[in-house]
Structure 1
Amino acid sequence: MVASDDDLRREMAALSERVNRLEAMLGEAEHPRRVSPVVDEEQFWALTGLQSRLGDHPATADGAVMLVGALTLPDGGPVVWQQTAGTSGMWEADWSDQAVTFAALGHPVRLELLRQILAGVHATAELAETATLGTTGQLHHHLRQLVAAGWVKQTGRGSYEVPADRVVPLLVCLVGAER
């Protein structure tokens, strides 16, 4: 049976409409899995490097995430950091163990404390001079929270610093929180 020209036109119109709807759905989706598997190697050089290593390590067979950074702190100190974790088992893990770490970042005073410490203000007495950090009691409360979560460590009596291995993860959290 041969289809008529009218039948072919109707089928083409219906097919064209289905393709348009599918393209519209893909255009509206913001889900990361919708990203094209073709990667611009110039723009995504770190991702390309990570992808090229995935097959080399059994722990990353299901994929991996990476934090990487190289910077100079406001006080002149250099920081370089790279951390990679395989995603195998990550979906089944209990994420609530990380709540304290994230909660410590969930207060504006603690974020300002971190910024001040990274800028080179390490002594409690100097930090207390910053009006936005509250009273001395509030300052110590926030410092305890940051120390307990590992974002800050005490380096001497009344002196604090952000450990080098927390600088890049902290900045990654801040960048990741931007919309």
Structure 2
Amino acid sequence: MDLEERVAELERRLAALEERGGDGPRAAPEADGGGFWALEGLKERLAEDGAGGGGVLFTGAVRMPTGLRYEWQYGLAADTVLDADWAAAAESFAALGQAVRLRLLREILDGRDTAAALTELDGIGTTGQIYHHLRQLSAAGWLHAPSRGHYEVPAARVVPLLVMLAAAQP
């Protein structure tokens, strides 16, 4: 079974688990280890595939302040992640490695989506600096411009961005 088929099967199984679980969102796992419904589904899936090295899954359902809703999930076998060229991720991480760029992403997710509106923010830099940051975020795939002067975080990058920010919490 190739990676795409495995991910599709994982998505199907996770959807089935969610259907069995009731109408509302599930609470985060308790500190005592209870309630790891996503983890248990991942372990079942990996056992069926014989992926003895484990796996990684991240998923989310998010309603943004703008009212937009994003649902997304992604899973990989641990061996796939461990064997990958980690240096290839450097540009993506580097683009997020500045507080100004993270603030720009937050403002864009909050609905301030034009370059003109972003230049009005205090402490964000000159117009030239803002455009430099927007270009860096766009080059790394964290932003795209659906029309001239307007920016948005691509739908497929919203949950991964929030996952990375959550993982960075102390």
- TM (normalized to structure 1)? 0.73
Verify: 1:129 aligned to 2:120, yes or no. Answer: yes
Give the Cα–Cα distance (whole angstroms) in 2 for the partners of residues 165 and 91 of structure 1: 23
Higher RCO (C-alpha 8 Å, min separation 6):
2
Task: Give the 3-state SS of the residue equivalent to 1:132 in structure 2.
Answer: coil
RMSD of equivalent CA atoms: 1.7
List gaps (5 residues or longer) in structure 2. 1-31
1:157 — aligned with what? 148
Please say if residues 143 and 152 of structure 1, whose CA atoms lie closer than 8 Å, have aligned partners that are also in contact: yes
> Is 1:173–2:164 an aligned residue pair?
yes
Alignment: residue pair count: 140
Corresponding position: 1:50 with 2:29? no
Out of 62, 65, 73, the residue aligned to residue 74 of structure 1 is 65
Query: Is contact 1:75–1:120 with CA below 8 Å preserved after alignment?
Result: yes
SS of residue in 1 equivalent to 2:56: strand
- Match of 1:66, as an amino acid? L
Contact 1:122 1:161 in 2 (8 A): yes
Return the alpha-carbon distance in structure 2 between the equivalents of residues 132 and 113 of structure 1: 11
Deviations 1:104-146 (A, max 9, x none): 1100000000000000111111111112221100000000000
Mapped contact 1:41–1:48 kept (Cα < 8 A):
no
Deviation at 1:62, TM superposition (A): 2.3
Taking the aligned partners of 1:133 and 1:66, their CA distance within structure 2 comes to 34
Q: Aligned pair in 2 of structure 1 residues 122, 107: CA closer, same or farther (>3 Å)? A: same
- Render the CA deviation track for 1:17-55: whole Å, top value 9, x for unaligned: xxxxxxxxxxxxxxxxxxxxxxx7742111111111112
Cα offset for 1:94?
2.0
What does 1:62-101 align with in structure 2 at a 5 Å threshold?
A: 62-101=53-92
Identity %: 50
Partner of 1:143: 134
